[in-house]
Amino acid sequence: MKYNFDEIIKRSKRNSRKWNSKYYKEVFNNQDDLLAMWIADMDFRASDGIQNRLKKLVEHGIYGYGAADDEYYDAIIRWNKVRNNWEVPREAIMYTPGIVPAINYILQTYTKEQDNVMIFTPVYGPFKRSILNNKRGLVICPLLKDENNNYSIDFENMEKLMKEKSVKMVIFCSPHNPVGRVWTMEELEKVAEISLNNKALMVCDEIHSDLIFGDNKFISYGNLPEKYRDNGIICNAVSKTFNLAGMQVSNVIIFNNILREKYKNTMGLYNVVSPNAFAIEAVKGAYLESDEWYAEMLEYIWQNILFAKKYIDENIPKLKFNIPEGTYLGWIDFNGYGVYGKNLEDLFEEKLKIAIDYGHWFGEEGKGFIRMNFACPREVVVEALERIKKYFEKNC
């Protein structure tokens, strides 16, 4: 490999929310000495393509207001065409400082207070928080889970709830965070069809769409027929793929002209105009000049996941870990050891000394699960799994 993903880059003294205890200890009951495997950012150095672009900007030395130029939009269009085989009209691309802010803007643009909004749990926590913070009604349609922890969509319950609750919007996670499902065309079309038939706007978060493993194939909402695209909003970004979350640059893609004009009005209200100068160059460097880094990163994380699966099956057999179809996040079931809720938090924070995302953060259906971040050097994965193994060997 050209890039060294095994390199341990110290982040605890930087302004890293993931690693600096000054920022994370409030989340983990004042613990300040944890191995960070939570929060979805990578521990890898950015690609040469990104760094070279940023270096040129630094050398220029002027950091005034930025404006997204043709190359910026061409980069986004090119990436989606090459990776996902769909054409993004330039006029459909709207800048947003992040997907979570975008979800809030979207809620404020297309719904009113007390309107009901559906999510599929367990799911990324800010979906629920955004709905409740904006005083919208929360409608939960839990994913179905079989005895082997394979997840699917409960279409029957979705249709029932859509009608009973007069749902106005569906917020859908594709690929799904945290369970790692990459939805098939049939599944995606069924959700889109039910939403359309019930006059509910479909919002599809595709932020993990470049992180697909094995024989799985990501289908973007943009690949669906026009009738569904016109009833949908797509959210995607460079942030997960290229570890650029701190740049605060994402895309909202809206095909429908009427829906797009409404969103533009909201952006005008908040004066959200253009990415900052560094974000513009980072997007270009990522989408135009980082294909090699992307391919090597994907393979490295895939090997981390395969290693973790083998290690868990051979050494911690009461854990259930299904290889994710997408995302770099492992959804691991600890219920076989009878630990969940406060006991699970105590285990990780006081005994294992690992900062992790707890399953109940993603909804009641996540009880007894954790979400582990595999976008890190192999040494970190090994250390975390060995701590877990040693604890259960001694205490079970």
Domain spans in the chain, listed from the N-terminal domain onward:
21-46+291-395, 50-289
Q: Which tens digit of pLDDT belongs to each residue from 113-167?
A: 999 999 999 999 999 999 999 999 999 999 999 999 999 999 999 999 999 999 9
Q: What single-letter amino acid sits at 300?
A: Y
Q: Over the stretch 283-317, which tens digit does the pLDDT of each residue have? A: 999 999 999 999 999 999 999 999 999 999 999 99
Which residues on neighbouring strands pair with residue 279, listed in sequence order?
none
- What is the chain's mean pLDDT, rounded? 97
| pLDDT at 396 > cutoff 80 | no
Using an 8 Å Cβ cutoff, are 11 and 34 in contact?
no
Scanning the structure block, which residue is given the tokens 């992040």?
98
φ, ψ of residue 95 in degrees (nearest 5): -75, 145
Q: Which of 84-93, 189-198, 368-377 has the lowest mean pLDDT?
A: 84-93
Percent of the chain with pLDDT over 90: 96
Residue 326's beta-bridge partner residues? Answer: 212
Is CATH 3.90.1150.10 the right assignment for the domain spanning 21-46+291-395?
Answer: yes
Could you identify the residue written with the tokens 């799985």?
Answer: 216
Q: Is the peptide bond before 122 cis (omega within 30 degrees of 0)?
A: yes
Taking the domain 50-289, which CATH number applies?
3.40.640.10
List C-alpha distances in Å: 261 to 112, 219, 221, 351.
Answer: 17, 26, 20, 53
pLDDT band at 79; cut points 50, 70, 90: very high
Over the stretch 338-365, which tens digit does the pLDDT of each residue have?
988 889 999 999 999 999 999 999 999 9
Pure H helices in the chain: 21-24, 48-60, 70-84, 99-110, 125-133, 155-165, 185-197, 226-229, 239-242, 257-269, 277-289, 291-315, 342-346, 378-395
Say how many Å lie between the first and final Cα of the chain, rounded.
Answer: 41
pLDDT at position 84: 87
Residue 296 sits at φ, ψ, to 5 deg, of -70, -40
Tokens of 373: 């971040």
Contact status, residue 237 vs residue 207, Cβ threshold 8 Å: yes
- Positive or negative, the CA dihedral 59, 1, 322, 185 is positive
Token representation of residue 129: 């928080």
Provide DSSP, 181-208.
Answer: ----HHHHHHHHHHHHHTT-EEEEE-TT
Kindly give the interhelix angle for 48-60 and 277-289, rounded to the nearest 10 degrees. Answer: 150
pLDDT of residue 360: 96
The C-alpha R_g of the chain, in whole angstroms, comes to 21
Nearest to 171 by CA among 144, 132, 145: 132
DSSP codes, 74-124: HHHHHHHHHHH-----GGGEEEES-HHHHHHHHHHHH--TT-EEEE-SS--
- Spatial separation of the C-alpha atoms in residues 262 and 27, rounded to whole Å: 37
The pLDDT tens digits of the residues spanning 214-231 come to 999 999 999 999 999 999
Contact 116, 167 (CB under 8 A): yes
